[in-house]
Amino acid sequence: MPDLESALHRWESSMDYDIAIIGAGPAGLSFALSLRDSGLKVAIIEKQPADTLQAPAYDGREIALTHLSQKLMHAHGSWQRLGDGNIHPLMAASVLNGRSDYRLHFDAPANIKGPLGYLVSNQNIRRAIFAEFAASEAATLLDNTNVQHVRTDASGGYITLDNGTTLSASLVIAADTRFSATRNQMGIASDYNDYGRSALLCVMEHEQPHHHTALECFFYGGTLAVLPLDEYRCSVVITVNSAQVSELLQMSEEAFNNEVAQRLGNRLGSMKQCGERYHYPLVGVHARKFYGERFALVGDAAVGMHPVTAHGFNLGLSGQDLLASEIMKACKNQRPFWDTQVLAAYQQQHMPNARVLYHGTNTVVGLFTDDRLPARLLRTAVLRISNHLPPLKQAIRHKLMSEQHPRLRVF
C-alpha cells in the first residue's frame, strides 16, 4: 500500500489548489500568510480589484489590537509595515455610566512595560497586511472575481466563478464577511442579532489631552466611545438607535462639535470634527459550526462581533492562526490537512472563547442600553462591584495583554 505522502501528492495533483480562500480581507490574507511556509498551493478569491486592496480608502474605523494580535501581525511581517506614526498606544481605559463621574478603570500593571493595547486604523491594517501578502507570494490572488456557487463532498471542494470556471481544492475556507454567502450555501446556520442600532464614527481634535486613555460612556439611549490617537486627537464612536443616526449625520459641524463635547461632559474640552462622519448598522453573527466537510470558516464569517468590546478583529486574527496551526501540524505528521478531525480540533480551540465573547458582549450591550430603572441600578452596581474585584480586572487586563491564545475548557 503506498505511503501517505505519495497519496497526498497524487491527491494534490488532481486538484487546482490545496486550499482555496474566499475573501481577501485581513482574516483571509492573514490565513494565507500563516500558511506561506507550508508548501501548500493556496488561492484567494476576492471580488474587489487588487488596486483597491493595495490602497484601501479610509473608512472611519480605528481598531483596538491586543498584544496577541500584535504578535501575530509581527510574525507575518505586516506589523513592521504599519509605520510607528500609525500605531497609537492604549495606556488605560475607563467605563462610565450615564452622567456620573464614577468610572471602572483599567491600566497596565506597574510591573509590565508597555500599553494595554494598540489603536490602528482599519485602513492601515488592511494596507499593511496586503502589502506583506503581495510581497510574500503566499498565495495566488484571483481578484475582481465573484463566486457564484460553492459545494464540497468527500473528494474535494468545488467553486464556480462568475465567468463559468469551476476551481477545485482539497479544502475551502470562507472569509467573506459576517454576511457570508459561502456559509449560507454550505448550510451552516448562524445566530444572527440585528441590534437595531448604528455606529457613527469620526476623528476629532480636542482641547484637553486624553493621556492615551479610552473612554466607553454608556448613556441612556446610546453610547459614546473615545479611542485615543494623538494626544489631542481621538476617534469618536457614537452608537444610537438606527432611526436617530440620520439626525447626527445631518447636523452642522458646529452643532455636532457641541453635541459631542456635551455628551462627554466637556471632559476633553471643546471638540472639533476632522474629516468625514461615517456610519454603520450594527449586526452580530455567530455560526453554530465553524467547519463542514472539507470546509471551514474564519474571521467574521465565523463570528461577527458588536464593536463595544473591541474583540472582533482580534478574534478573527486568533481564529485563522489556530486553524493554520492545525493544518500545519497535520502536514508535518503526514495526515490529510482537510480531514474532519483537523477541522474539529480548530473548532474545539476557537469556539469556546468565541462563544463566551459573543454572548458576553451581547449581555453587556443589552444591560447598558436598557433604559429601564432596574437596568440603570444594576449597571451602576456592576461597575462598582467590578472596580473592587481585582481578579476580574486582572482577567480583563490579561485578555488584552496576553500573547497566548485563550484556553477554555470545552464541556
Q: Are 308 and 18 in contact (CB under 8 A)?
A: no
CA–CA gap between residue 222 and residue 14 (Å, rounded): 55
- What pLDDT digit, counting tens, does each position of 343-360 carry? 999 999 999 988 888 877
**pLDDT of residue 110 exceeding 70:** no
**Would you state the pLDDT for residue 4?**
42
Task: State the alpha helices, DSSP H only, in 175-311.
Answer: 181-185, 245-250, 253-263
Q: Are 213 and 228 in contact (CB under 8 A)?
A: yes
For 76, 180, 310, 326, 386, the CA distances from 26, given in Å and listed in that order, are: 12, 15, 16, 20, 34
Q: Are 231 and 301 in contact (CB under 8 A)?
A: no
**Would you state the pLDDT for residue 113?**
73
Determine how many CB atoms are found less than 10 A away from the CB of residue 219.
18
For 190, 230, 285, 306, the CA distances from 364, given in Å and listed in that order, are: 20, 29, 16, 10
**Would you state the pLDDT for residue 370?**
54
Give, for 246, the enclosing helix (H) or strand (E): helix 245-250
- What pLDDT digit, counting tens, does each position of 260-276 carry? 999 998 999 999 999 99
Indicate the pTM of the whole model.
Answer: 0.88
Q: Are 241 and 197 in contact (CB under 8 A)?
A: yes
Average pLDDT for 1-21: 63
- Grid cell 490617537 — which residue? 229
**Would you state the pLDDT for residue 9?**
46
Question: 384 Cβ partners below 8 Å, 6+ apart?
Answer: 102
**Rg, the chain, Cα only:** 22
> Which three cell numbers, joined as nine digits, stand for 83?
509605520
CA–CA gap between residue 226 and residue 95 (Å, rounded): 11
DSSP string, 11-41: HHHHSSEEEEEE--SHHHHHHHHHTTTS---
